[in-house]
Amino acid sequence: MLVLVPRPWIMTGILFAVLFLGGCGASSPGRLVVSDQTGALDQARIAGAAAPLLQRGAVVAVFLAERGDDRGDDFTRRLAGESLQRNGQIVSDGLALYVSFDPRYSELRAGNRWSGTLPDAKLRTIRTETLNPALQAGMPSDGIAATLERMEAELSVPGWQRLPSSWGWWLLAGMLALVAFALRDHPALFRLHMAAGATPPGKFASWLWVQTPIARQRMRRRLAADMRQLRYDTDAADRELGYALELLRRTSGSAPLLPLAETTHATLASRRTMLENAAPEPDAVRNLRALLGEYRTLIAPIRAYARLYRAASPARVDIAGAGTVPDDAWARLLEERLAGLDARTEAIERRGVFDDMLTTQAEQLATEYLALRERTRAIQAVSGHAGAAHQRFDKALAAGRLGKRNAKKYQSLVQRMEALDRRRAEVMARPDVYGVADLQELAGGYEILDHEIWKMLDPREYQAAMRRAAAAFLSSGSINASDTTTTSPPSSSDGPTPSLDYSDLHGGSSGPSSDGGTW
């Protein structure tokens, strides 16, 4: 029979526990900063979505810019203007969201206090799965509110998981050490605990424990917590599915599978309403979890289907307008390949099923449509630059710029033009052999030759045209940053931290986290 005798170590451990709980506290409420240059935000909804984060002690900043940049510099300036930037980094308790509509760019940043739970990879997932789809669907308020809610869900922990501050960890370690020392004389305690579940008395004790009010109360709490999480996840999945459908409608409102997708969404939404209002019972939790799986199974195929039509429509337009291509072999090749892609698209639409096979096939078809469009444009570029070079060459001859005085220049231009024409005839005769790179190289050769003739024919006009082109290129902001992740270096301390600091609780990283890219 196992007998545990009270010892002074136990009382000391209880004292340490009291001190340990003293190290756990709540953060003071934060503040909300909203700057909307577009006037498109629902301020009340954003404030409601940010309220839990403010109660957690976060400083939440939301910036919408009509004209920003795609490098994050404008974001940094706006943070500094609100005193949310220190030593080149966002403040420790800051959570900031930035959206630029020209160019299209979005970025999330989290200070040191939250970066342990919201690292770069997590911010990228939230931005690409929650924020960007809503922006693409033209619903910025929904996307920003959902992003703030998802941040709160990532940061949320049950009350019993509120961990201590840094000094509280030392108290916890000391308390555990004292308890372990007090029980050092009872090695059978560990063996008894391990073997209890496998013995008939242990099984009976487990059954008896389940019948107690305390165990039932814990089970109810567990089911209620599971239901809350599943309701949140299902609501988020329903919004993501809505964004995917809106993207499909905007891309092609006549897509054959759009009615099926809308009907399926309506059915899932009806089931979701019924299950979310159910009592927290095991069957309700199981059914709601299954519904969440159906939502997630449907989102990816619809997104892939929308991307397919987004790639197919421009390709069809370009090939339909490729009548300027003089070579019949290339024209036939483009038409045959487009017909083949359209036939494969119709085949997956006839299946009438949104599944993994549709996702894979739609993504592959979208890639092939884009490649076909690229080839079409390359062929058009060859025809356009070749025609321009020949026309300008004839104009230079007529103007007498290639007479006896420029005999060497004339011979050089004639030889290069003939070489390009021979290469063009060879490439155009074998569309099955030569690809986009060959076409682009050929178009570039004609373009360089055209510029040389133009510069010789009218230097002033050429220089003026080049200056106008350079100015237009710089003003258009056509250089788009890729979707990259910035890992910031550690920043210096922002002053004393509260007793309950999230970076301490979750082992936060040594610096803030961020993620930005085009949307």
Q: Where are the alpha helices (DSSP H) in 28-131?
A: 43-55, 73-81, 120-126
Proportion of the chain in helix, strand, coil states, percent, rounded to 5: 65, 5, 25
pLDDT at residue 488, as a whole number: 37
Q: How confident is the model at residue 358 (pLDDT cuts 50, 70, 90)?
A: confident
pLDDT of residue 194: 66
Angle between helices 459-476 and 436-457 in degrees, nearest 10:
130
For the chain, the average pLDDT equals 80
Report percent pLDDT > 90 for the chain. 29
DSSP 8-class letter at 129: I
pTM across the whole model = 0.47
DSSP code for 282: H
Tokens standing for 245?
Answer: 């459908």
pLDDT at position 479, please?
46
Query: What pLDDT does residue 220 have?
Result: 85
Label residue 402 by pLDDT band (50, 70, 90).
Answer: low
Confidence of residue 469 (pLDDT cuts 50, 70, 90): confident
Least confident of 108-112, 136-140, 468-472: 468-472
The confidence band for 14, taking pLDDT boundaries of 50, 70 and 90, is low
Element (H, E) at 98: strand 94-101
Is the pLDDT at 67 greater than 80? The verdict is yes
Q: Which amino acid belongs to residue 216?
A: R
Q: For residues 422, 428, 430 and 434, what is the CA-based torsion angle, rounded to 10 degrees?
A: 90
Angle between helices 140-155 and 213-251 (to 10 degrees): 150
What pLDDT is attached to residue 491?
A: 37
Integer angstrom CA distances of residue 383 from 36, 182, 210, 379, 427: 47, 89, 81, 6, 12
Q: How confident is the model at residue 414, as a pLDDT? A: 84
Residue 157 confidence (pLDDT): 56
Q: Which residues contact 215 (CB under 8 A, 6 or more apart)?
A: 209
> How confident is residue 417, by pLDDT bands cut at 50, 70 and 90?
confident
Q: Pick from 130, 81, 91, 132: which is nearest to 114 by CA?
A: 91
Q: What is the mean pLDDT of residues 111-129?
A: 92
pLDDT at 247: 87
Where is pLDDT greater, at 402 or 501? 402
Tell the CATH topology of 1-199+486-519: Diaminopimelate Epimerase; Chain A, domain 1 (3.10.310)
DSSP letter string, 345-386 = HHHHHHH---SHHHHHHHHHHHHHHHHHHHHHHHHHHHHHHH
- Determine the pLDDT at residue 498: 38
Pair of tokens at residue 24: 């756990």
Give 27's pLDDT tier (boundaries 50, 70, 90): low
Please count the CA atoms within 13 angstroms of the CA of 196 that sit on its side-chain side: 12
pLDDT reading at 448 higher than 60 = yes
pLDDT at 61: 96
DSSP state of 484: B
Q: Are 82 and 97 in contact (CB under 8 A)?
A: no
Question: Please, which pLDDT band fits residue 179 given cuts at 50, 70 and 90?
Answer: confident
* Contact residues for 106 (Cβ-Cβ < 8 A; gap 6+): 97, 98, 99, 100, 127, 131, 132, 135, 516, 517, 518, 519
Average pLDDT over residues 218-236: 89
Picking from 219, 235, 211, the residue whose alpha carbon sits closest to that of residue 280 is 219
Domain boundaries, the chain: 1-199+486-519, 321-457
Please give the C-alpha separations between residue 459 and each of 403, 454, 463, 464, in angstroms, as whole numbers: 17, 7, 6, 9
Residue 59's SS3 state is strand
- The pLDDT value recorded for residue 383 is 83
Q: pLDDT per residue over 405-415, tens digit each?
A: 667 777 888 88
* CB environment 90-108: b (16+ within 10 A), e (fewer): bbbbbbbbbbbbebbbbbb
Q: Given a cut of 50, is residue 31 above it in pLDDT?
A: yes
**Residue 404: what pLDDT?**
56
Instruction: Count other Cβ atoms within 10 Å, centred on residue 442.
Output: 23
Kindly tell me if the per-residue pLDDT of 501 is higher than 60.
Answer: no
